[in-house]
Amino acid sequence: MSLTVIKAGIQSSIQAAPFRGLRKLAVPSGGAADVLSLALANRLVGKPLEAAAVEVTLGPAEFRAERAMAVAVTGAPCQVAINGEDAEQHETLHLAAGDTISIGRVWAGCRTYLAISVDIAVAPVLGSQSTLIAAGFGGLDGRALADGDVIALEDGDAPPDKITTPAELQPFFGHGFVLRIVGGPESDRLALGMAALSRKRWRVSSRSSRMGLKLQGTAIDLNSAAPIRSGAVFPGIIQCPPDGMPYLIGCEGQTTGGYPRIGQVIRADRHLIGQLAPNATMLLVPVQGEQAEQIHAEKLGLWAEWLPGLALG
């Protein structure tokens, strides 16, 4: 029993929970780049919020069910079709053996999630079924999916009944993003203070992946070029390399770095990094740590009833 990858597209991979507590071994967090969209997809097929699903980058991609199952597609808006017939995102979809589901190129955002009502049968590594593509382990042979791959599935119960994500809980993705940030360990080097980050619009360059995103805009001036001793970086850290163009660390980014860390996307907004595609623009809005904590609590509160136990990191 399986799901066949007909067309993997630019990059599709099996993603589930992040690798937790392993950063001291230099193992990145990884997992779904947009944890909220993963949770919403799994909810629709009756699975735990962090169950393994297929993360599709930009699309298009296509899969064939080799058994009856329910699936759901969430994340970046795109055209979904079953055997060529239009289908909805944010809705439980029933597939019979032999049915194909296609995920079109995204209209905005970056990543879609295909959740499956039966469990994906890949062995967990270091406690997660997620794929660390750069490190080469986890998921299916530690790599992105390729055309013709067969994703083995466990036996499962009868597919769940159809449900739909309540409209007010479906995230909206456009081409512009607002990410809230706190200062980084070396923000005192910003010649113009946090305004250097907040008073400009930043554009995501094509040099972007799950590991990190190079931003384009007005080069940032630092008032010190003294070297930094390598230390921790986390997803959402904004580094300032010598060219002055910020580099935003993604979910699969390295665990330590030696460039000045001039900002940090707050935990509550980090799932949005997974939806930043090349050419997307963003505003970085500074907040205080206590405000960030409150925003995190409010965001969890908004989804608490629909997604109990949601973790944004």
Partner 1 sequence: MTLPIYCADDWLMIRSLGPDQVTGLAQAAQAQGWEDVVPGLDSLSLSWNPAERSLETARAVAEALVAQGNAAPAEDALPPITLHICYDAVWAHDAEIVAELLGIATDVLPHWHAAQDWRVAMLGFQPGFGYLVCDAHIPEIPRLSDPRAHVARGSVGLLGQICGLYPHAGPGGWPIIGRIAETLFDPHAASPALLTPGQKVRFERVDGPTLSRLTGEPA
Distance CA 304, CA 82 (A): 31
Count CB-CB contacts under 10 A for residue 101.
21
Give the DSSP letter of residue 169: G
Q: At which residue do the structure tokens 């296509």 appear? A: 62
Distance CA 267, CA 58 (A): 24
In terms of phi and psi (left: phi > 0; alpha: psi -120 to 50; beta: otherwise), the region of 90 is left
Strand partners, 125: 128
User: With 0-12 CB in 10 A as exposed, 13-18 as middle and 19+ as buried, what is 32?
Assistant: buried
In whole angstroms, how close is the CB of 313 to partner 1 at the nearest point? 7
- Contact between 6 and 98 (Cβ < 8 Å): no
In whole angstroms, how close is the CB of 182 to partner 1 at the nearest point? 5
In whole angstroms, how close is the CB of 135 to partner 1 at the nearest point? 5
Tokens (6 digits) for 176: 């512009």
* Parallel, antiparallel or unpaired: strands 131-132 and 80-82: unpaired
Element (H, E) at 6: strand 2-7
In whole angstroms, how close is the CB of 17 to partner 1 at the nearest point? 13
In whole angstroms, how close is the CB of 265 to partner 1 at the nearest point? 9
Give 23 or 94: the residue with its C-beta nearer to partner 1: 23
In whole angstroms, how close is the CB of 229 to partner 1 at the nearest point? 4
Give 83 or 288: the residue with its C-beta nearer to partner 1: 288
Give 23 or 67: the residue with its C-beta nearer to partner 1: 23
**Phi, psi dihedrals of residue 284, rounded to the nearest 5°:** -105, 120
Give 224 or 279: the residue with its C-beta nearer to partner 1: 224
Give 148 or 308: the residue with its C-beta nearer to partner 1: 308
Give 85 or 290: the residue with its C-beta nearer to partner 1: 290
User: With 0-12 CB in 10 A as exposed, 13-18 as middle and 19+ as buried, what is 115?
Assistant: buried
Give 60 or 286: the residue with its C-beta nearer to partner 1: 286
In whole angstroms, how close is the CB of 33 to partner 1 at the nearest point? 18
In whole angstroms, how close is the CB of 102 to partner 1 at the nearest point? 33
- Contact between 179 and 276 (Cβ < 8 Å): no
Give 68 or 134: the residue with its C-beta nearer to partner 1: 134
Positions that interact with partner 1 (CB under 8 A): 20-28, 125-126, 132, 134-138, 182-185, 188, 229-232, 234, 254-257, 264, 266-267, 289-290, 292-293, 296-297, 300, 311, 313
**Phi, psi dihedrals of residue 252, rounded to the nearest 5°:** -105, 15
Distance CA 226, CA 224 (A): 6
Distance CA 50, CA 48 (A): 6
In whole angstroms, how close is the CB of 67 to partner 1 at the nearest point? 29
Give 3 or 196: the residue with its C-beta nearer to partner 1: 196
- What DSSP string describes 83-102? TTEEE-SSB-EEE-TT-EEE
